[in-house]
Amino acid sequence: MEKSITFKELSQRWLSVSSLGKTYTYQQNLQSYINHLNNGIGDCKVADVKPAHIDEIIRQLYIENPNTKKPTSKKVLKNIVDCATRIFDYAIENELIYKNPARNKKKVIPKNAPTKIVSAITPEQQQLVIDTEHRAKIAAVIMMFMGLRTGEVLALEWGDIDLVNYNLSVNKRTQRISSNKYIVTEGTKNGKCRYVSIPVNLGAWLKKQKDISNSYLVVPNRNGELQSPTQWRNLWNTYQNEINYSAYCKKCVNAGLIPANKHTPAGIPRVVNTFNAHQLRHTYATLLYISGVDVLTASELLGHSNIEITLKIYTHLDKQFRELNISKFDNYIQSDLDINNI
């Protein structure tokens, strides 16, 4: 390997080696981190890259991510630094350099870099999930009340659902193998299978869905086959539009107005925020917390690889609901008690 090699050339060689046997999504994530690094040092010779170059990349991304136009989250910054560290370690192994300019750079990631927190959907949105009819509704209901991941829902078969004992076996998931193709693989994200209880009042509804289904899959495409990434994305987008239209119609009725046709050229105003599938899984975690399910049981139901992940969610929820309760207290003493002349 020539010593005049640029970082961009080296990173692609490293990627081809390190991504062998890895999933398509894993490879795409690494390429995304490399793209950020290339924006700053791609054309530099590997031997010329200094720690200050890495510092500047972190600083620029902290200020604004060129893709989102927002500050880069702490987790992504750490992943970018980790990727750079591994690439330069590869350069050291091949005797291109003798010191890694990215090592220990995680220490300089700003403490106030944003932490991405997935939020549960609101009670209004939860009711809209229940009330709005759409092909994606069954996926949304299963994610919100049984906590499955998107890949687990798309791979779910009716044979995995026991409507006699009200439980669901989560034993496989979809894996992306190209830009627009999923395959089904055995096991879940953490490699383990799990059983999730089905709320009793959802059992009858699921049975009706099974009776009218034309596929062995619970959430198939229109041909009864496994969804592709594009099909799933389009399905979810139309579902969000239908959710919004349901909310819009309710608001019109409450205001004594006649709702516009959903296909009106002027478009339907956005009256409720969109939400992604992962927020429904977080909603399930929140519902477990509110109903008093202990953290160990919640961890098993959610299929987390270790209890620390669940503890982190529960700790955040504990803080969130404690602040909410204090807010209720403040509102009470301000509105219901006369303390102005205390």
Is a pLDDT exceeding 90 seen at residue 329?
Answer: no
Is a pLDDT exceeding 60 seen at residue 214?
Answer: yes
Per-residue confidence (pLDDT) for residue 15, from 0 to 100: 96
Per-residue confidence (pLDDT) for residue 338, from 0 to 100: 53
Per-residue confidence (pLDDT) for residue 313, from 0 to 100: 82
Above pLDDT 90, what percent of the chain?
72
Least confident of 130-134, 237-241, 296-300, 312-316: 312-316
142, 161 Cβ separation under 8 angstroms: no
Mean pLDDT value of segment 255-264? 93
- Pick the closest to residue 37 from 137, 99, 105, 98 (CA basis): 105
Per-residue confidence (pLDDT) for residue 312, from 0 to 100: 82
Per-residue confidence (pLDDT) for residue 310, from 0 to 100: 81
Is a pLDDT exceeding 60 seen at residue 36?
Answer: yes
Greater model confidence, 21 or 10: 10
- Return mean pLDDT, the chain: 91
**How far is Cα 146 from Cα 232, in angstroms, rounded to an integer?**
19
Is a pLDDT exceeding 90 seen at residue 4?
Answer: no
Q: What is the DSSP letter of 170?
A: E
Per-residue confidence (pLDDT) for residue 342, from 0 to 100: 54
Q: How far apart are the first and last CA of the chain?
A: 79
pLDDT in tens, 55-106: 999 999 999 999 999 999 999 999 999 999 999 999 999 999 999 999 988 8
**How far is Cα 106 from Cα 205, in angstroms, rounded to an integer?**
50
Domains of the chain: 7-108 (1.10.150.130), 123-323 (1.10.443.10)
Integer CA distances (angstroms), 49 to 40, 46, 57, 87, 108, in order: 10, 6, 12, 12, 17
Mean pLDDT value of segment 104-122? 86
- Pick the closest to residue 152 from 109, 107, 113, 182 (CA basis): 182
Mean pLDDT value of segment 321-334? 62
266-290: burial string, b at 16+ Cβ within 10 Å, e else: eebeeebeebebebbbbbbbbbbbe
Per-residue confidence (pLDDT) for residue 290, from 0 to 100: 86
DSSP string, 271-309: -S----HHHHHHHHHHHHHHTT--HHHHHHHHT-SSHHH
Where does the pLDDT of residue 328 fall: very low under 50, low under 70, confident under 90, or very high at 90 and above? low
Per-residue confidence (pLDDT) for residue 278, from 0 to 100: 93
**Of how many residues is the chain composed?**
342
Per-residue confidence (pLDDT) for residue 188, from 0 to 100: 85
Q: Which long-range contacts (CB under 8 A, 24 or more apart) does 10-19 make?
A: 10/46, 10/87, 10/90, 10/91, 10/96, 11/37, 11/38, 11/42, 11/87, 13/90, 14/86, 14/87, 14/90, 17/90, 18/86, 18/90
